[in-house]
Amino acid sequence: MIKASLKTTLFILMLLFTFSLSAQETVKFAMVGLSHGHSPWFFEWGKEEGMELVGVYEPDKSLSGAFRQRYQLPETLMYTDLAKMLQETQPDGILVFGAIADHVEAVKAAAPMGIHVMVEKPLATTLSDARTMAQLARENSIHLLTDYETSWYPATEQAFRFFEEQQTRFGEIRKMVFHHGHEGPKEIGVGSEFLEWLTDPVKNGGGAVVDFGCYGANIMTYLMHGKKPIAVTAITKTYKPETYPEVDDEATIIVDYENSQGIIQASWNWPFNRKDMEVYGEKGYVITKDDVQLYYRTKGADEKQMKAVAAELDVETNPFEYFREVIVGERVPEAYSPYTLENNLRVMEILDAARKSAEQGERVVLQE
């Protein structure tokens, strides 16, 4: 009995020691591109203990110089050659924050080296590029994640849980309405290096239809467990041609499922920033107001208000920490959850169909 007890104690201590090592493991990150307006996130609040920045690739020396000065970065971190940076620094993962059209080249460079990748939303500009990236990720056994701000909203996860865990109260989902966007990138004062490609139909893949249409498609895919839509119908407009002459600034996308419907309202014309949604079931609804506040009501009951709590839902509110946890094996993304490759390939199918629908003026049926 004593020997058995001693063996059990030693086994528990070994597990605790192994877990401690895993939790403390330092992951080497490299930045690939700095032109995205979200790239400061890593430097300002994203970098935590357990993360080491080993390199920054940015071909625009004036932009990289501005980041060096702002965040007191050593010159030895800066590279203008992506292949050279990856070879010399050997990062565990790269954070891709340049033009969306450049995502595919970043994956082509990193995947064969076994380097994991997180891109800023959406996954790619075209469905073809997205599929190329997915094939490279699978062939080289790397994680390929896509970061959306709404992925780390506790309210997003709480809405999902209500319909997932309390279906008898809320019923099956029948309608989803997503409001995403702001007054417009120029109107809110994004940097010139960001605005240049964000309003380019090739580098960004479109205007508001891509920039904010992807949010609704991403959450919708999560709520629907990755189910493939039957068809997509979209209308895009440019209400401010003097500001956005080459891309749309307004998009409405209707996504048709067998027993439900999604409506994505993506806009650079909102009077203020919006990232909220409404999800209606057979017996109740959930309406999110922002990242934590939401309202819900079920049949026969009054509307209630609550704040979603990240810790209670196991939502990681730092996307870079989430990436680190995935790399070291502390977290395994669930199928079709917002960051996953499976989800974001479906997002690209929806966006691809939306652009075709808007161009052709007709409903686009998604092929099996």
Of the candidates 100, 122, 148, which is a domain's last residue?
A: 148
Given a cut of 80, is residue 51 above it in pLDDT? yes
12: part of which helix (H) or strand (E)? helix 2-24
Please tell me the total count of domains within the chain.
2
Are 60 and 84 in contact by the 8 Å Cβ rule? The answer is no
Q: Is 184 part of any domain?
A: yes
Q: Which of 45, 53, 52, 56 is nearest to 26 (CA)?
A: 52
Of the candidates 95, 121, 148, which is a domain's last residue?
A: 148
- Which tokens go with 103? 């995502």
Of the candidates 87, 114, 148, which is a domain's last residue?
A: 148
- How does pLDDT run across 169-190, given as a tens digit for each residue? 999 999 999 999 999 999 999 9
Q: Is 328 part of any domain?
A: no
At 4 the pLDDT is: 47
183 and 134 co-located in one domain: no
At 367 the pLDDT is: 82
Residue span of the structural domain in which 203 resides:
150-316+333-365
At 5 the pLDDT is: 53
Q: Is 326 part of any domain?
A: no
Q: What percent of the chain has pLDDT over 70?
A: 93
Q: What is the average pLDDT score of the chain?
A: 94
At 368 the pLDDT is: 73
128 and 164 co-located in one domain: no
214 and 359 co-located in one domain: yes
**CATH code: domain of residue 119:** 3.40.50.720
At 24 the pLDDT is: 52
Give 234-241 contacts, CB < 8 A, sequence gap 24+.
234/209, 234/353, 234/354, 234/355, 234/357, 234/358, 235/358, 236/206, 236/207, 236/208, 236/209, 236/355, 236/358, 238/207, 239/269, 240/184, 240/268, 240/269
108 and 202 co-located in one domain: no
297 and 166 co-located in one domain: yes
Q: Which of 87, 303, 338 is nearest to 218 (CA)?
A: 338
132 and 194 co-located in one domain: no
This prediction's pTM: 0.92
Are 168 and 298 in contact by the 8 Å Cβ rule? The answer is no
163 and 259 co-located in one domain: yes
Give the residue with greater pLDDT, 177 vs 335: 177
At 167 the pLDDT is: 86
How far apart, in whole angstroms, are the C-alpha atoms of residue 220 and residue 278?
A: 11
187 and 107 co-located in one domain: no
> Looking at 15-24, 182-191, 342-351, which range is the least confident one?
15-24
At 323 the pLDDT is: 98
Given a cut of 60, is residue 10 above it in pLDDT? no
139 and 285 co-located in one domain: no
In the Cβ-directed half-sphere of 280, how many Cα atoms lie within 13 Å?
10
C-alpha torsion sign, points 219, 220, 223, 225: negative
**CATH code: domain of residue 186:** 3.30.360.10
275-285 average pLDDT score: 98
- How does pLDDT run across 196-247, given as a tens digit for each residue? 999 999 999 999 999 999 999 999 999 999 999 999 999 999 999 999 999 9
116 and 235 co-located in one domain: no
- How does pLDDT run across 145-166, given as a tens digit for each residue? 999 999 999 999 999 999 999 9
195 and 237 co-located in one domain: yes
269-296 average pLDDT score: 98
